Structure 1
């Protein structure tokens, strides 16, 4: 074989070998980099999820109207909420009352609302406020809920809903439990432990209805007065 031809063959073989080695080197480096990305012990993945909600069961019992923060504080002050209390807010909206009860007064608290949008919003607000260890929100119809461990119940509903709810409060709550309501009364249950006119400053952003409202507080009696006992002649199903 001529010398020139032999040199060409050797040159081509050397080039092919270099390319093969280079390709293997790149592939190995890529594999090592991929492995490092998936096994790096310093990489930590944290997932914080908001509890899932369910479809809306039925329309809420009352229109959602946010309670100004000044009124929230005053309702909890009237109830003398403390760290040993268990607070329930029936119709809890964006969660500001249970969150304030936990953050400012140290209580454990639960908000109950039938609206999944409000429950989602309330859970997000609790997370932002750093009180998820003391506050929980339940997407429930509060007429079907168990709140028997409450020491304080907060309401911002209307008169009809309050009166409809009254037998359930008497049935579930222990004597001495405080019930605080903004604006709405309890019909014939007029044995108030406290009642006062709402005081709103311009910066409190109270609406006209809230500015002319009262805050009522009752205590669950040990012995229910005869005039507040359920009427045996009325079918309870008619009140649902």
Structure 2
């Protein structure tokens, strides 16, 4: 069942960006990684395979969720990751230690208040290619590979929240 039309079309996260995200966040087996708009599940599956990370993928598209679940089963990581068909603007992700996004700028801005309301101080937030408006990132990394040019934005949720 489709809850509503997806806000964006599916664009797979490039492998180099996945590597950079997981490296920058210093992902470990004790982390709980949430991928909001998880698509085919490649970020969570990679984190689970390499680091033993647990995680949750949320996507509104039932086709993508089924694909991610199938990929998770094939990779043998379904004991550590799960994929849910849900509206990320209505979802809960308080248990996350790391959140990754690959959404458009207006969607990041729409999601920002919910992220700041739910996430604990110190939670890591990474966004591929798009920032969070006037919430300045802690780090910006330019990725330049033969196949792709992209930008990785990184924040830690602060003790004192930025104004939204």
Q: Shared fold (TM-score greater than 0.5)?
A: yes
Output the CA distance in 1 between the equivalents of 2:145 and 2:51: 21
CA-atom RMSD in angstroms? 1.0
Taking the TM superposition and a 5 Å limit, the aligned residue runs for 1:87-102 are 87-102=33-48
Q: CA deviation at 1:199?
A: 2.4
Instruction: Find 1:220's aligned residue among 130, 151, 157.
Output: 157
Structure index of larger Rg: 1
Q: Which residue of structure 1 lines up, in the alignment, with residue 139 of structure 2? A: 194
Question: TM-score, normalized by length of structure 1?
Answer: 0.67
User: Is 1:144 equivalent to 2:90 in the alignment?
Assistant: yes
Unpaired segments ≥5 residues, structure 1:
1-54, 230-240
Runs of 4 or more off by more than 6 Å in structure 1? none
Question: Residue 122 of structure 1 aligns to a residue in which SS?
Answer: helix
Question: TM-score, normalized by length of structure 2?
Answer: 0.97
Taking the TM superposition and a 5 Å limit, the aligned residue runs for 1:63-78 are 63-78=9-24
Q: Which residue of structure 2 lines up, in the alignment, with residue 160 of structure 1? A: 106
How many residues are aligned here?
A: 164
Output the CA distance in 2 between the equivalents of 1:91 and 1:75: 15
Output the CA distance in 1 between the equivalents of 2:82 and 2:146: 31
Q: Which has the higher helix share?
A: 1
Question: Residue 112 of structure 2 aligns to a residue in which SS?
Answer: helix
Structure number with higher relative contact order (C-alpha < 8 Å, ≥ 6 residues apart):
2
Q: CA deviation at 1:201?
A: 2.9
